[in-house]
Amino acid sequence: MKGIYTKARAKINLTLEVIGKREDNYHNIKSVFQKINLYDELYIQKTKTNEIKIRSNTKELNNKKNILYKAYEKLKETNPNITGIEVRLNKKIPMQAGLAGGSTDCASFLLGMNQLFDLKLSKEEIKNIGKSLGADVVPCLYNKAVLAEGIGDIITPIPTNFKYYIIIIKPDISCNTKKMYKKIDEKKRFMQTKNSDKMVKALQQKDIELLTNNLYNIFEEALEEKHILQGIKEALIHQGAIRKFNDRFGVLCLWHI
């Protein structure tokens, strides 16, 4: 049966500012997203059934709670010509690491299904479906640096081809996004740095010093295990990293090419 192979690339937040909580319990953000060369692999193949079967090297993803299952059901609501499929998911992106593993899988799945079944969905239609499935899905539809605002659904592509090396370390600590937002909400007087506009400028001008001086992620301030990250950062800086930075729970440091 016909199939399609696609790579779902991870993202990092070069900046992440939480503007405030909305009435629908989502949060407005301002963030510079950057796709990186770490990716999951998806192979989507048509079957003679009328359902989705997910096979992954990560056992906990082989169930109906997987976001790919939800995306499949959402697509079938308005596209009755979609038949059954089998998805083979080779998971390489660490889970609960702030790298949008589930969201980028979903984004690549939507794009792949659009091509596989010739659905002729516009980018705006795909964005609307992605938005209904998760806040990070929309920015993950773009394989480039973007400024994400609103709940992550207002996207401004950043014209840049700036290349730099990064190291990402995922310590043995994890927490889901909802818990992180809850911790931020509980801090009534929480000061944060507003660096996103400067980060956009840094990428546009290929200015590594401006970039490293404006790395920021509000989630780090709410993390109880912050001292673990600090120790890792100091060790990496000692080895020549330009600047410390935390992307949720993964430590990211930069080297200029």
Q: How far is the C-alpha of 53 from the C-alpha of 48, rounded, in Å?
A: 12
Lookup result for tokens 């935390």: 246
Q: Is residue 163's pLDDT more than 60?
A: yes
pLDDT band for position 26 (cuts 50, 70, 90)? confident
* Averaged pLDDT, 143-168: 91
pTM: 0.87
Name the token pair of 189. 């007087």
pLDDT band for position 200 (cuts 50, 70, 90)? very high
Q: Which of the residue ranges 53-57, 104-108, 162-166 has the most confident prediction, judged by mean pLDDT? A: 104-108
- Picking from 166, 140, 113, 120, the residue whose alpha carbon sits closest to that of residue 11 is 140
Q: Is residue 44's pLDDT more than 60?
A: yes
Query: Which positions are annotated as active-site residues?
Result: 11, 136
pLDDT band for position 1 (cuts 50, 70, 90)? low
SS (H, E, C) 92-147: CCCCCCCCCHHHHHHHHHHHHHHHHCCCCCCHHHHHHHHHHHCCCCCHHHCCCCEE
pLDDT band for position 254 (cuts 50, 70, 90)? low
Q: Is residue 25's pLDDT more than 90?
A: no
* Averaged pLDDT, 149-176: 87
pLDDT per residue as tens digits for the range 67-124: 999 999 999 999 989 999 999 999 999 988 889 999 999 999 999 999 999 999 999 9
* Averaged pLDDT, 115-136: 94
Per the prediction, the chain carries an average pLDDT of 87
Q: How far is the C-alpha of 47 from the C-alpha of 85, rounded, in Å?
A: 5
> Which are the contacts of 180, defined by CB distance < 8 A and separation ≥ 6?
219, 222, 223, 248
* Averaged pLDDT, 118-142: 94
